[in-house]
Amino acid sequence: MSQAQSPRPFRFGVNLMTSAPADEWRAKCRRAEELGYDVILVPDHLGMPAPFPALVAAAEATERPRLGTFVLNAGFWNPALLAREVATTDALTGGRLELGLGTGYVKAEHDTAGLPWGSPGERVDHLRRTVDELERLLAFEEHQPQPVQKPRVPLLIGGNGDRMLRLTAEHADIAAFTGARSTPGSRTGQLEPLTAEELDERVARYVGLAEGRKEQAELNLLLQMVIETDDREAAVQPFLEHLPQLTVDQILELPISLIGPREDITAQVLALRERYGFSYLTVLEPYMEAFAPVMARLRGE
């Protein structure tokens, strides 16, 4: 295992991506809580729910889960305005907020919003400035509004590149890995999955950069598929056209794909923690129900 000698307890999050009227949204959040999810998350994409009001509504509908952005596109945000949103949301959710940040990876969204895109290096620079400014503003006792959580709202940073991993190692309480990279030249955010060996290298790179931290960060992985089935090969057939560079066997071996009988998926999750140190796993909304029995098994329920 890549970090601590004894494994961290599991945490499980679900990323809610589909807009809904108030009653339906709150019912969906209550269902996530009933199923046992530890964190209700909202992404930051045009065409999806606005993160902060959606999380406030989730807090009103639930009692136990933490609430997080997964992840904010720093390019959409001015740091001073973001500090106001973070502090207000933390206060209105009773100190349940976890702030997830990334550089953004969908150029078309920036074009639609009339916002500059910038090179990969420029986007990382902006994210670093955003992190630094948030830490400065929210630590300032006279800043209003004030967040509930002290010394700060927990920070998750998501990314795989060397500069992103360095920033994560320096600042983040939670290091999030997508298990995928942006497809070169894509305007729409198309992603290419990392193989198990490539993810080994990225996690090892992060762990090396994080040496000397007083407290080790929690490691998160975003899972792209959770499919319970006795016919694994048939289950991945629909995805072959979207991943032409991969064979059926290679898709089945991807760390971000949990496909098979329930007991095999449970074993896969345990293996992700053992091999990489991933103790915090996030599933996408379409797989919220499918993953729930696996969570129950892992908790011995």
pLDDT tens digits, one per residue of 125-162: 999 999 999 999 999 999 999 999 999 999 999 999 99
Q: How far apart are CA 1 and CA 32, in angstroms?
A: 29
Whether pLDDT at 42 is above 70 = yes
Section 72-101 average pLDDT: 98
Q: How far apart are CA 65 and CA 43, in angstroms?
A: 16
Instruction: Report residue 174 as tokens.
Output: 């939670």
Section 83-109 average pLDDT: 97
| Position with higher pLDDT, 132 vs 182 | 132
CA 44, 45, 50, 54 torsion-angle sign: negative
Pick the CATH number of 11-223+261-298 from 3.40.30.10, 3.20.20.30, 3.90.1640.10, 3.30.930.10: 3.20.20.30
Contact 88, 148 (CB under 8 A): no
pLDDT of the residue at 67: 98
Strand-strand pairing, 180-182 and 191-193: antiparallel
Contact 86, 55 (CB under 8 A): no
254: exposed, middle or buried (Cβ count in 10 Å: 0-12, 13-18, 19+): buried
| Position with higher pLDDT, 96 vs 184 | 96
User: Nearest Cα to 35, choosing from 294, 262, 300, 286?
Assistant: 294
pLDDT of the residue at 68: 98
**Per-residue pLDDT band at 233 (split at 50, 70, 90):** very high
Instruction: Quote the pTM value.
Output: 0.95
| Position with higher pLDDT, 229 vs 183 | 229
